[in-house]
Amino acid sequence: MAEPIIKCENISYRYESEEQDTLKGISLEVSKGEFIGVIGANGSGKSTLAKMFNALLIPDSGKVYINGLDTTIEENAYPIRQKVGMVFQNPDNQIVATIVEEDVAFGPENLGIESSLIRDIVDKSLLTVGMFDYKMHAPHLLSGGQKQRVAIAGVLAISPEVIILDEATAMLDPEGRREVIETIHKLNNEKHITIIHITHNMSEVVDADRILVMSNGELILDDTPRNIFSLGKKLEEFNLELPQFTSLASMLKEAGLDINNNILTLEEMVEALCQLK
């Protein structure tokens, strides 16, 4: 079997100002090309975990391996950050240049890539996220969804194998969310980039390959969306909720309807209901 792209072995971490561990003995593996959703309450450790994946943070104990590279070894930090790109919550805090294409070129320039190649990399990255027509625009005049797609293009320009989105949709309007979600699915499907998507919006992870549920610094669930959301009300203990259609299905099931309570999407719900009619 191929080596996992991300491997955590019993990692723990405590911030200096904190009295207890933010991460408590987490072990997990992510295979290349997976689409992983990460959910959990505010303060459950999701973002801290994500920062372990590109050596922004180093565990106090335990090991993180990215494509086999140990993050505790300092020389590995650069190659790891080239493999794992991150997109953060606030679109205004991660754009550095005054023209879209310069912003996207920032990464490859810093990697010392020849300028003749950078032109091509930037164009391709912007094309992939559907922002090519905006390459000469000023980033501050773009919508939130467009800014986040530029941020994704900036990450793409360093040809990463993994992209982590740390609540990258939280500040966006519905259309902006849709744009970002479609973009990351496209990168996952067509370029086989591994996606780690952290969100509070359950509907954004119903079609993930796997969901990691964090609670109080522990990884308490690691399973398919269908198995996780069929836990029903138990999820509320972890400050989570069910997708609306899953909630409705369980209510109908309780009322005696012959319906599966692990329905996740609108299409599945319409189909299930029409079979009952």
Partner 1 sequence: MPIEIRNVSYTYSPGTPFEIKALDNIELTIEDNSFVAIIGQTGSGKSTLIQHFNGLIVPTQGVVEVNGISTQDKKDRKKVRSQVGIVFQYPEHQLFEETVFLDIAFGPKNMGYSDEEVKQLVENAMKAVDLDLALLEKSPFDLSGGQMRRVAMAGVLAMSPKMLILDEPTAGLDPITRNKVLNLIKELRDKQSITIVIVTHDMTEVAHFADRVVVLNNGQIVLDGIPKDVFGETKALKSIGLDVPPLTALFTSLVNKGWNVPSVVLTLEEAAKAIKDELGVGKNVD
- Which residues touch 203 (CB under 8 Å, ≥6 apart)? 243, 244
Binding positions for partner 1, 12-51, rule CB under 8 A:
17, 40-44
In angstroms, give the least distance from the CB of 31 to partner 1. 27
Nearer to partner 1 by Cβ, of 4 and 176: the residue is: 176
H or E, element range at 165: strand 162-166
In angstroms, give the least distance from the CB of 161 to partner 1. 28
Q: How many residues bind partner 1 (CB under 8 A)?
A: 43
In angstroms, give the least distance from the CB of 86 to partner 1. 17
Q: Which two tokens stand for residue 14?
A: 């405590």
Asked whether position 173 contacts partner 1 by CB under 8 A, the answer is yes
**Contacts from 45-50 at CB under 8 Å and sequence distance 24+?**
45/214, 45/216, 45/217, 45/218, 46/166, 46/198, 46/214, 47/166, 47/167, 47/198, 48/13, 48/15, 48/22, 48/23, 49/8, 49/23, 49/214, 49/219, 50/86, 50/164, 50/166, 50/196, 50/198
Asked whether position 248 contacts partner 1 by CB under 8 A, the answer is yes
Binding positions for partner 1, 105-144, rule CB under 8 A:
143-144
Among 66, 158, 245, 262, interactor with partner 1 by CB under 8 A? 245
Query: For binding to partner 1 (CB under 8 A), which residues are involved?
Result: 17, 40-44, 89, 143-145, 167, 170-177, 200, 202-203, 236, 239-241, 243-245, 247-248, 251-252, 255-257, 266, 269-270, 273-274, 276-277
